[in-house]
Amino acid sequence: MAIDKKLIGQTGTPFTVPIEWSKVREFARAIRDPNPVYFDRELAQKECGGVPVPPTFLQAASFWMDEHSMPAANFDLRRILHGEQDFEFLKPIFVGDVLTGVARVADVYEKEGGRGGKMTFMLTEIEYKNQKGETVAFARGTLVETGQAVSS
Amino acid sequence: MAAKIKYDAVKVGDPIVTITIENVSRPDFVRYAGASGDFVPLHYDQTFVEAAGIPTVFAQGMWTAGCLSRCLTDYAGASQVRRFKVRFARQVWPGDTLTCRGKVTGKSEKHGEKLVEGELEVVNQKGEAAIKGSFAVAAG
């Protein structure tokens, strides 16, 4: 990807993410998490005030994003790495909530890498608000496009 | 909200919960692709990865991060996580056994909440770090 500083600060179209119990259960199983709070509604209500979501569950918001949700960057899928991910939680997220996410490009820059040659970094931040308009979380990700195919 | 840890009882250096993930396998990556919507083919399409010069499929970083997040929710409670940050250091391959662990590095108060902070890591069976991370959880 040619580096494009004009991307910085651009936002995507807001997208809506209903927090669905079946998806939460599927996600918990996928990360091998048997915690009963994801599977037993009464227990979850007592312990957490509702069925909570695993800390990384907002990754599944991708199902509700389309080509306009994230400002476009033409990364080569064969050479892409997820460098970092950072979640900050300000309010609880429960099954039944309806979140709205807005993605923003926080930074784009290039760096000389080692084995991978020149690397392009893109930092994105998605702010999620719930149905009451409260900001519940920020999901910040760093994507890296390496100069050649990624391997260990 | 049920906090599982008491702020005053937590000490810097305390280990948090350790989770062992035995025998990472390709179905883990397929299941996670379906659960998360991450269909980057590097994680399940053998033909694609070989064409890209990579020996075989490897785990989505966020699958491994999800496994690591259990250390926090088991330690502090499912709705107590306030910060979870990971940096991906190395790929996780089919057949790996992972140890997810962490320890307390600090305590603070923010927005009227008592927070326990610390560092995290996922290491493979050779002791190599796949993820380095940090966290903050709310204590009672």
Q: Which amino acid is at B115?
A: L
Q: What angle do CA A36, B133, A1 make, to 5 degrees?
A: 110
Quick: pLDDT tens for A15-67.
999 999 999 999 999 999 999 999 999 999 999 999 999 999 999 998 899 98
Cβ-based neighbours of A28, under 8 Å, separated by 6 or more: A34, A35, A38, A39, A54
Q: How far is CA A17 from the centre of its chain?
A: 12
Token pair of B95 as six digits = 């057949």
Residue B102 near chain A (CB below 8 Å):
no
Backbone angles phi, psi at B22, to 5 degrees: -80, 140
User: Which residue in A23, A57, A76, A87 has the most chain B C-beta atoms within 10 A of its own C-beta, making it the best mutation to test that interface?
Assistant: A87
Of A30, A62, A63, which is closest to B31 when you measure between CB atoms?
A30
CB contact under 8 A, A32 and B55: no
B66 part of contact set with chain A, CB < 8 Å: yes
- For chain A, the average pLDDT equals 90
CATH no. of B7-25+59-139: 3.10.129.10
Rounded to two decimals, the ipTM of the complex is 0.96
Determine contact, residues B122/B100, Cβ cutoff 8 Å.
Answer: yes
- State the pLDDT at residue A150: 56
Instruction: Evaluate whether B98 touches B89 at the Cβ level (below 8 Å).
Output: no
Query: For residue B44, which residues of chain A lie inside 8 Å, CB to CB?
Result: none
Whether B82 contacts chain A with CB within 8 A: yes
What percent of chain B lies above the pLDDT cut of 70? 99
DSSP character string of B37-68:
----GGGT-HHHHHHTT-SS----HHHHHHHH
Tell me, what DSSP letter sits at residue B90? S
Are B53 and A151 a contacting pair at CB < 8 A? yes
Compare CB distances from B2 to A38, A47, A56 and report the shortest one's residue: A47
Looking at residue A113, its pLDDT comes to 73
Q: Which residues of B touch A83 (CB under 8 A)?
A: 87-88
- What CA–CA distance (Å, rounded) separates A142 from B88? 10
| A87: closest CA of chain B, how far (Å) | 5
Domain ranges for chain B, please list them. 7-25+59-139
Q: Is the dihedral of CA A8, A75, A140, A15 positive or negative?
A: positive
Chain A residue nearest residue B64, CA to CA = A31
Each residue's pLDDT tens digit, B85-139: 999 999 999 999 999 999 999 999 988 999 999 999 999 999 999 999 999 999 9
A60-86, pLDDT tens digit by residue? 998 899 989 988 767 776 777 889 999
Tell me how long chain B is.
Answer: 140
pTM tops 0.90, yes or no: yes
Full set of structural domains in chain A with CATH: 7-145 (3.10.129.10)
Across the interface, whether the CB atoms of A87 and B88 are under 8 A apart is answered: no
Interface residue A80 vs chain B (CB under 8 A)? yes
Between chains, do A26 and B35 touch, taking CB under 8 Å as contact?
yes
Distances, alpha carbon B81 to alpha carbons A14, A34, A87, B50, in Å: 25, 17, 9, 39
More confident: B2 or A118: A118
| B2·A48 Cβ contact <8 A | yes
Burial of B96 per CB tally in 10 Å (0-12, 13-18, 19+) = buried
Asked if residues B113 and B60 have their Cβ atoms less than 8 Å apart, the reply is no
Q: Which residue, B19, B98, B42, B38, is CA-closest to A152? A: B42
Interface check for B7 against chain A (CB to CB < 8 A): the answer is no
Give the span between the Cα atoms of B24 and B9, in whole angstroms. Answer: 35
The nearest CA of chain B is from the CA of A28 a distance in Å of 9
Give the A window 32-51 contacts with B, CB below 8 Å: 32-33, 35, 37-38, 44, 46-49
